[in-house]
Structure 1
């Protein structure tokens, strides 16, 4: 059984729910992450890039297909970036253009 530190390593999708502990422990954005996101992306593109970054860091994989993103993660990302984020979202709603998804994956 993997240790708690490796809870999300190797996963290719997000669980439907995340606890506040999981979000703060595994999907946290540092102040330098927030500064890099603010410098590189327009406000309407920051949440998607942030989700790609934290998922890559937690799992070692890029985020593939997801039906919906966990509400706790969306709330946390919005709070850290100072953005209003939807309470229900999927990658499809965040990425209407494939090029934007590709740019975020390359950046992350």
Structure 2
């Protein structure tokens, strides 16, 4: 956990975001158990997340920021943009007849 906390971020002078570290911790635990057949204590992941949560709270209290910040909004959030109307050449399910 300490090693992951010190890793550089995507931009020079930044560090990895807590959410990224959390994903990496999950991957490390799964890989260690499945690929390397290591017998780890069941609480290893939970203990690492507890430490990460404490470090994140201390970081927020100190006013530090990690990562890129919130994701940008999608270009269009209109429901019609996500779901286009059915083309006229495709019959609607109600008009379809079965032999």
Q: TM-score range by the shorter chain?
A: under 0.3
The one of the two structures with greater contact order (alpha-carbon pairs below 8 A, sep at least 6) is 1
Q: If the length of structure 2 is used for normalisation, what is the TM-score?
A: 0.27
Question: Normalised by the size of structure 1, how large is the TM-score?
Answer: 0.26
Structure (1/2) with the larger helix percentage: 1
Max radius of gyration: which structure? 2
